[in-house]
Every structure is written in C-alpha cells, then in structure tokens.
DNA sequence: GTCTATAGCTTGATAGAC
DNA sequence: GTCTATCAAGCTATAGAC
C-alpha cells in the first residue's frame, strides 16, 4: 500500500535524522534538511506540518520496532531461566545488545538515530519528557526483570543503578571521539563491539555492589 | 583590579550560562541572553566578539578552578595512601565529589554549568573536542591513579570503564527528571546526595569486574 | 504531490553617536 | 562602555499555480 509520496516522506526523515543527530534540533534548518534530501523546501511542511513534528516523527519512527526487539530478547532470557531468577548480566545484555548491534551493523541511519537519542537523553528540555514517552513502558518491564534477578534489593538502588546504566550506554551512542583522544588511539568510539563485551559485566557488578552496600547497613 | 565593564561581562556570561544550559548553543539567541542579563544587545559582541566565543568563555570560566579542586582531592587521597596503592573508591570519589558538591550546594549558576557540560559531552559536534580540551589533563592524572589502584589491569579496560563512568556522571548533571518519572517519584534527579553515595561503589565494582573478566582469559 | 513566490519575522553582527 | 539604528541574511510557514 505504498502511496505516491512515501518515498519523499522517507527522504526527508532520513536527511532530518542525519542532520539533527549532528547538531540537534535548533542547529539545523528545514532548508538544510530538504536540500540534503533533494526535495523542495515546502514539502517538509506539507508532510510534517512543522519542524518540531518532523523531529518527533524521526524519533518515533524507529522506537517501536526497537522496543519490540528488546522485549523479545528479554523474553528469551526469561524463558530460559524458567522458574529461576534470570541472570542479571543476560538481562542487561538483552537491554543493550539490540541497540549496540543496530548501531554497529544497521548502517549509517541507525548510527544517526542513536546519536540523536544521545543528545535528547542529556537535554534538560527534552530528555525527561521524550525518553519517558518513547521508552518507559519497555524500561519498566526491564526493571521488573532486574528486580527478579536481584531479590531483596531496595527499589531506590535499582532505579539509581538504572540511571547509571542509561548514562553509560547513551554516551556510547554519541561517538564523540573522546575516548580516542584520551587513550591516544588505543580505544575507538566507533568500536561498539568492545562496549558490547564490557558494558553488561561492568553494570551488573555495579548493581550488585549497590545491593551489597544496602545489605550491610545496620 | 576590577575594571569598569567587568560586572557587565559577568552578567552576560551568567545569563548565557543559564540559557545555553537549557537549550544548547543554537537554541538561544544573543538577544535573549542580553535581555536576561539586562544589558544592551550590542554589548555581547563588544565583549566577546561572537556568540561562539561567548559560549566558549562560559565553558572555560569554571573549568580551571574545578580541575584544581579535583586535583587537590586526588592528591589528598594519594598522600593518605602513602606507598600503598590508593583505594579505588576514594579515587573515584575525588573525581566526582567536587562536581556533585558544587552542583548541589554551589547555587543555580553551578547547576546551569553542569547541565551545559551534560549537553556538550553528548554532542557529536563538540563533545570530543571541548571535553578533551578542558578536562583531559586532569582526567589523565586520574586514570594514572586508577591504574595504581588496580594494578595488572589492561589499559583498554581502564579507558572503557572511564567512559562508562563519564556517561553515568554526566547524565546526572542534566537533571532531566527522567528518574522521577520512572520511579514514580521515589527518586529525584535533583538529589545529587544520593548519587554521591552510590556512584563511587557502583563504578568501582564495574572497574573491578572488567579487571577480573580479563584475568580469567585463557 | 510538487513547485514558485513570498509573507512576516528574527538572526548575528556592526557603524557611529554619545 | 553603552546605546540606537540598521544591515544583509536567513528563518519557518503558507498561499496558490500547476
């Protein structure tokens, strides 16, 4: 049922994704977007109504399928665990791997998308509202699984640990080249495979440390 | 030796800090800044030459004193350790506490400054260059201390673990309200004291997990 | 659906009076 | 040092021809 203007619509979204990812919402003009897309300027407003609507549509476009894939990964981990608590590291991997995998192997559009998420996530203006809107149902599902993996851990510790996980994961997507500079080239921002190997054990150990820290209280 | 125009200069920087923190470089106009500062529009260009220069000056303004305080905190930890390796958790605390403390107790200008850092850090356009420029010498000093605290850990693990630390810390500064939504009010973005108590043990456990992970290799 | 043309504003920056 | 006045450029958004 592909309509006539669907290709144009997609070209505009693709160009918007790339440019918003690089310079954020205000750093890009509608004219730049349509120029990169190779279509007339007026078409951006024809299809999306406003620049802000276009921005939202770009963020929303990949969120749904992404969340489905992550939910499926979590369900696989839980099914294998059966009646036992799921393994914490595997839960975290189900949360992060579908993202890292698409950024690494999904082509440049996915890289742009995640770089855009990295900016939105750390924006006081949009981070709270947009990330909540697009990702909270899934995140709540994961937090429930983490609670089963770490019984007797106070909720507060779980939420703060999730916050640290979110920050570490999302900075990765920005691929700013900072770690390249800092390590004099030993590590590369673009090497998401390295993150995939290290992030789950790193974060799982952090979660367990907060649990222990709490159990030691008088 | 306070010159005549120093007060105006500071008013412009203060207003710029607040607005850039909220909406980023492109999301703010010079006119808005000078309006909030209560001075004439032309003075921003008179004192700073360009909008970009003003932005840079705002970032630089607090960086130097901040790095001095963090270096002093690290030196205190190292002095107490004497010839022994310093305690990892205390090294991380020396890295993070001067920041969290100023954001929590330094007044709204410090809050704005760190929120601005949170945006710059995750920006593909500026994150790599600016953070490297303003903070790398200090970060390299801390990484050397972490290496002493965790002997026989491959450098690659250290750099990636630092990357995760940076992401977790810096998302905190954005104070987006996301954790408030997610936890239904149990945790608050603005509660940096909670982060101060949890971040060092969380991150230290992560560092150790990467070290172990590597030692287990065949 | 796509284009031209343009309305109506705002932008960063500066020249020059005081 | 501070202000008014203004420039040239660019902005989002839309009306209307095709």
Pairwise CA distance, residues B107 & B175, whole Å: 15
Superfamily of structural domain B61-215: Tetracycline Repressor, domain 2 (1.10.357.10)
Instruction: Note whether B119 and B55 are within 8 A (CB).
Output: no
A residues 70-89 closer than 8 Å to B (CB): none
A residues 105-134 closer than 8 Å to B (CB): 115, 118-119, 121-125, 127-128, 131-132
Q: How far apart are the first and last CA of chain A?
A: 65
Pairwise CA distance, residues A104 & A101, whole Å: 5
Pairwise CA distance, residues A135 & A64, whole Å: 9
* Chain A contact present for B91, CB below 8 A: no
* Chain A contact present for B183, CB below 8 A: yes
pLDDT tens digits, residue range B108-157?
999 999 999 999 999 999 999 999 999 999 999 999 999 999 999 999 99
Fold of the domain spanning A1-49: Arc Repressor Mutant, subunit A (1.10.10)
B158-188 as b/e, with b when 16 or more CB fall inside 10 Å?
bbbbbbbbbbbbbbbbbbbbbbbbbbeeebe
Domain range annotation of chain B: 1-49, 61-215
pLDDT tens digits, residue range B13-72?
999 999 999 999 999 999 999 999 999 999 999 999 999 999 999 999 999 999 999 999
Among A167, A55, A109, A32, smallest CA distance to B174 is for A167
pLDDT tens digits, residue range A142-186?
999 999 999 999 999 999 999 999 999 999 999 999 999 999 999
* Closest nt by CA–C1' to A51: D12
A41 C-beta less than 7 Å away from strand C: yes
Does the beta-carbon distance from A163 to B164 stay under 8 Å? no
Residue A164 C-alpha, separation from nearest chain B C-alpha, in angstroms: 4
Does the beta-carbon distance from B171 to A174 stay under 8 Å? no
Instruction: Note whether A169 and B164 are within 8 A (CB).
Output: no
Does the beta-carbon distance from A156 to B189 stay under 8 Å? no
Instruction: Note whether A97 and A165 are within 8 A (CB).
Output: no
Superfamily of structural domain A62-215: Tetracycline Repressor, domain 2 (1.10.357.10)
* Chain B contact present for A188, CB below 8 A: no
Pairwise CA distance, residues B89 & A213, whole Å: 13
Instruction: Taking residues A90-98, report their average pLDDT.
Output: 98
pLDDT for res B216 = 76
* Closest nt by CA–C1' to A39: C2
User: At A216, is the pLDDT very low, low, confident or very high (cuts 50, 70, 90)?
Assistant: confident
Pairwise CA distance, residues A15 & A167, whole Å: 27
Residues contacting residue A97 through CB under 8 Å, at least 6 positions apart: A73, A196
The token pair that represents B165 in the structure block: 């630390």
* Chain A contact present for B138, CB below 8 A: no
B residues 139-158 closer than 8 Å to A (CB): 139-140, 143, 155-157
pLDDT for res A218 = 61
The token pair that represents B216 in the structure block: 């287990």
Pairwise CA distance, residues B174 & A122, whole Å: 6
Residue B194 C-alpha, separation from nearest chain A C-alpha, in angstroms: 8
B42 C-beta less than 7 Å away from strand D: yes
Pairwise CA distance, residues B172 & B167, whole Å: 9
Ranges of beta strands (E only) in chain B are: none
* Predicted TM-score of the model (pTM): 0.97
Instruction: Note whether A54 and A16 are within 8 A (CB).
Output: yes
Cα B120 from chain centre: 10
Does the beta-carbon distance from B179 to A163 stay under 8 Å? yes
Pairwise CA distance, residues B165 & B92, whole Å: 9
* Among the partner residues B156, B162, B202, nearest to A164 by beta-carbon distance: B202
Chain A residues near residue B125 by CB distance under 8 angstroms: 22-23, 27
Question: Is the confidence at residue A53, as pLDDT, over 80?
Answer: yes
The token pair that represents B197 in the structure block: 């108590």
Question: Is the confidence at residue A1, as pLDDT, over 60?
Answer: no
User: At B169, is the pLDDT very low, low, confident or very high (cuts 50, 70, 90)?
Assistant: very high
């Amino acid at each position: 049922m592909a309509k006539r203007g669907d290709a144009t619509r997609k070209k505009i979204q693709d160009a918007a994704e790339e440019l918003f990812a690089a310079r954020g919402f205000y750093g890009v003009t509608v004219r730049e977007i349509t120029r990169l897309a190779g279509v007339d300027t007026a078409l951006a407003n024809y299809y999306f109504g406003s620049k802000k609507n276009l921005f939202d549509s770009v963020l929303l476009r990949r969120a749904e399928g992404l969340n489905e894939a992550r939910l499926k990964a979590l369900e696989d981990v839980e099914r294998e665990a059966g009646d036992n608590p799921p393994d914490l590291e595997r839960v975290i991997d189900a949360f992060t791997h579908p993202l890292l995998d698409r950024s690494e192997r999904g082509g440049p559009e996915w890289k742009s998308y995640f770089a855009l998420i990295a900016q939105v996530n750390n924006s006081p203006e949009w981070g709270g509202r947009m990330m909540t809107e697009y990702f909270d149902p899934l995140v709540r599902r994961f937090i429930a699984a983490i609670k089963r993996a770490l019984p007797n851990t106070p909720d507060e510790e779980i939420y703060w640990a999730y916050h640290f996980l979110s920050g570490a994961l999302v900075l990765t997507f920005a691929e700013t080249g900072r770690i390249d500079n800092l390590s004099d080239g030993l590590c590369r921002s673009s090497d998401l495979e390295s993150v995939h190997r290290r992030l789950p054990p790193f974060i799982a150990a952090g979660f367990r440390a907060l649990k222990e820290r709490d159990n030691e209280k008088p």
